[in-house]
């Protein structure tokens, strides 16, 4: 926590210097282009439809990705960054940058506390960061997920537990009977949380080995024989990162984790978690944890961003999700698109964070190793 706080302090100082420079440039621009009839008006006036292009003209947007390079979240965010700028008036360039750490907690804290509140920074966050305030008490001091402005989500995904084909754990029943070494990220990452969830809610005997930086590294660990498998991997990420594993039968799919089954996985024989859960409280706690997948590829801007700017970005994101060229690119990269608008996402996040205290308490317990 001290290391993270120190990093945030450094980032705040950097951003403060950049903000002063931006404010000076804006002030000079306002004096040079002042319209007498509107003298004294604030920057928000210039976000009216007729002036929206002027607001982003000549600017760039930073897409801050809270995950490592080459993982599923990185692949999605960079695809969005390549296309979204064409739907923002003024056509700003969107520059992707990775800021992994604490299951997107570092990126979330930067967007919440440090990034300018002007629509020039978009955070691409893992669901665990959005659920952090609910499921991890330590995360509550870093940022408040309900106060972000949600631009949208690119996918409402299903996650899977898998093992390499050579593993003796070939089914979920095997996982209940014998120990299985499973690769995982640090605390706050979906892989560690979901493996712990299976242990506590169903009695699986996963031996969780934490410390891997991202899913790409975990999949490599499976190939090397360091681990038999992992849980909490988005099925869309599996298809984009290792398409041959499915095609050539190189893995066993032990479980599909989602509120509702995915027909493609059901056809492959992957069971749902619900028949294996021990009691009703655990079922409700698992439902709470899995509800984060409704906002599987979330994009946010800081609290305090002008509503007019949020509206511009939400419309641009929605248009990107309909773009035939973008969808063709997504299909080429084997990433699924099941998008939701920012307004709907905002409501889901607020509803989830209003869950009952007993369910929240049990959810926190079952994701701890």
Q: Is 341 contained in some domain?
A: yes
CB 128 within 8 A of CB 196: no
pLDDT at 115: 98
- Judgement on whether residues 218 and 307 belong to the same structural domain of the protein: no
Count the alpha carbons within 13 Å of 209 in the hemisphere toward its beta carbon. 16
Residues 56, 43: Cα–Cα separation, whole Å: 12
pLDDT at 200: 98
pLDDT at 11: 55
DSSP letter assigned to residue 204: -
- Judgement on whether residues 93 and 73 belong to the same structural domain of the protein: yes
pLDDT at 245: 97
Residues 290, 294: Cα–Cα separation, whole Å: 8
Number of domains observed in the structure of the chain: 2
Cβ neighbours for 324, distance < 8 A, ≥ 6 positions apart: none
- Judgement on whether residues 7 and 142 belong to the same structural domain of the protein: yes
For every one of its 369 residues, what pLDDT tens digit does the chain have, with 9 covering 90 and above? Answer: 455 556 556 556 665 555 544 444 434 443 444 433 333 334 444 445 546 678 999 999 999 999 999 888 899 999 999 999 999 999 999 999 999 988 899 999 999 999 999 999 999 998 888 887 888 776 657 899 999 999 999 988 899 999 999 999 999 999 999 999 999 998 768 899 999 999 999 999 999 999 998 899 999 999 999 999 999 999 988 998 999 999 999 999 999 999 889 999 999 999 999 999 989 999 999 999 999 888 889 999 999 999 999 999 999 999 999 999 999 999 998 888 989 999 999 998 998 999 999 999 999 999 998
CB 208 within 8 A of CB 176: no
CATH number of the domain within which 265 lies = 3.40.190.10
Residues 352, 359: Cα–Cα separation, whole Å: 11
Pairing of strands 121-125, 159-164: unpaired
Q: Is 366 contained in some domain?
A: no
Residues 145, 147: Cα–Cα separation, whole Å: 5
Element (H, E) at 130: helix 127-135
pLDDT at 85: 97
pLDDT at 18: 56
Q: Is 369 contained in some domain?
A: no
- Judgement on whether residues 168 and 276 belong to the same structural domain of the protein: yes
What is the pTM assigned to this prediction? 0.71
Residues 211, 187: Cα–Cα separation, whole Å: 9
| Range of the structural domain that residue 7 is part of | 2-156+296-357
pLDDT at 336: 86
Residues 312, 336: Cα–Cα separation, whole Å: 24
Mark which of 273, 292, 311 sits at the end of a domain: 292
Cβ neighbours for 299, distance < 8 A, ≥ 6 positions apart: 77, 80, 122, 123, 124, 125, 150, 151, 152, 153, 154, 317, 342
pLDDT at 296: 80
Residue 256 pairs in a beta bridge with 160, 272
């Amino acid at each position: 926590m001290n290391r993270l706080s120190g990093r945030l302090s450094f980032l705040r100082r950097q951003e403060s210097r950049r903000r002063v420079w931006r404010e000076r440039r804006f002030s000079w621009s306002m004096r040079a282009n002042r319209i007498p009839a509107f003298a004294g008006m604030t920057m928000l006036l210039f976000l009216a439809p007729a002036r929206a292009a002027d607001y982003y003209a000549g600017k760039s947007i930073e897409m801050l990705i809270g995950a490592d390079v080459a993982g599923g979240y990185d692949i999605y965010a960079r695809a969005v960054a390549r296309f979204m700028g064409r739907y923002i008036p003024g056509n700003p360039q969107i520059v992707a940058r990775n800021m992994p750490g604490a299951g997107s907690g570092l990126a979330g804290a930067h967007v919440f506390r440090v990034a300018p509140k002007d629509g020039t920074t978009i955070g691409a966050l893992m669901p665990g960061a959005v659920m952090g305030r609910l499921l991890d008490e330590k995360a509550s001091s870093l940022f408040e997920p309900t106060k972000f402005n949600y631009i949208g989500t690119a996918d409402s995904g299903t996650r899977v537990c898998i093992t390499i084909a050579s593993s003796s754990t070939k089914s979920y029943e095997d996982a209940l009977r014998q120990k299985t070494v499973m690769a995982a990220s640090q605390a706050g990452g979906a892989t560690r949380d979901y493996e712990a969830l299976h242990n506590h809610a169903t009695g699986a005997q996963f031996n969780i080995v934490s410390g891997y930086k991202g899913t790409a590294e975990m999949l490599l660990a499976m190939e090397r024989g360091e681990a038999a498998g992992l849980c909490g991997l988005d099925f869309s990420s599996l298809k984009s990162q290792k398409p041959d594993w499915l095609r050539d039968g190189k893995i066993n799919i032990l479980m599909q984790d989602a509120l509702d089954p995915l027909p493609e996985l059901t056809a492959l024989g992957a069971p749902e978690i619900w028949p294996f859960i021990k009691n009703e409280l655990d079922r409700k706690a698992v439902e709470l944890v899995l509800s984060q997948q409704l906002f599987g590829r979330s994009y946010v801007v800081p609290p305090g961003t002008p509503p007019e700017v949020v509206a511009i970005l939400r419309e641009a994101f929605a248009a990107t999700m309909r773009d035939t060229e973008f969808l063709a690119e997504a299909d080429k990269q084997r990433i699924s698109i099941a998008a939701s608008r920012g307004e709907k996402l905002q409501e889901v996040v607020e509803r989830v964070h209003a869950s009952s205290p007993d369910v929240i308490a049990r959810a926190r317990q079952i994701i701890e190793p």
